[in-house]
Amino acid sequence: MATKNTGVQKYKYYKVEGDKVERLKKVCPKCGAGVFMAEHLNRYSCGKCGYTEWKKNK
């Protein structure tokens, strides 16, 4: 039996301190503000447009 999709938990993408809001995830440079990139082991990728940035090796 399939489970119902609960949606995105957007409160995990921001941190509020006083009257300032900080984004915790990287924003896609092609799509603009409001579209966050997924963080994988070796890259960041946008689920909307497919843009990929590779992480630097340490």
Whole-angstrom Cα distance, residue 38 to residue 46? Answer: 6
Q: How many CA atoms lie within 13 A of 53 on its CB side?
A: 13
Binding residues: 28, 31, 46, 49
Binding residues for Zn(2+): 28, 31, 46, 49
